[in-house]
Structure 1
Amino acid sequence: MKVLVSGDALSPVKAIGKDGTIYDVKAITADGAKLDVKGASRSGNVYNIKAISANGEQMAVKAISPHGLFYDVKGVKFTADDKEMDLNGAAVRAHVKALPQVE
């Protein structure tokens, strides 16, 4: 999964196939609703990844390990350029990673 380059206020988070196909990434609520996942804000080299509800509410996205540990899902940049790289034809802004939570 990657945060893609976009002119929108919220950067799209997508999966990119080997053939360049761009796949939607969705968050699923407890009641089964599917929410868009976006890079909502940036703090230095880290994009805050959020699930966006129908009314625009932003909710944190978490990853859960097989052992039940929670991780924050973030977009990470390794260069100062707006475009980090091209991946199978898609312009990538940041790499999506699950990072340990900081207390």
Structure 2
Amino acid sequence: MGNTPAEQSKSWKQSIKAPLSFSLVMAIIAGVIATIAGTGGTDNPWRLDIGLVAFGVTFVACLLVISVMTMAGKENPEDLGTGSGVNKSSITPDSKPKNQH
């Protein structure tokens, strides 16, 4: 694994390791908190069922949110920083640009 040029050129940002790691950490935290909160005190037995459900839901939800945010974000094209722009002059913002018909 990782021997092809396509896999070698992926950065940490494009890799699946970062979203999986973040989702795993968040799921562990949610699972521990749900297990402790669901137990209801030291006299009661551990409620691992509640913790496992919270772990699973948090893992999937975090992974889904990160995936959607990753797909929505994209780099700007290089040509956006060049050119004359539309209505670039702030002296007369209400006047029409000369190149419009």
- Alignment TM class, shorter chain as reference: under 0.3
Bigger RCO of structures 1 and 2 (CA < 8 A, at least 6 apart)? 1
Larger radius of gyration: 2
Larger strand percent:
1
TM-score of the two chains, using structure 1 as the length reference: 0.19
Larger helix percent:
2
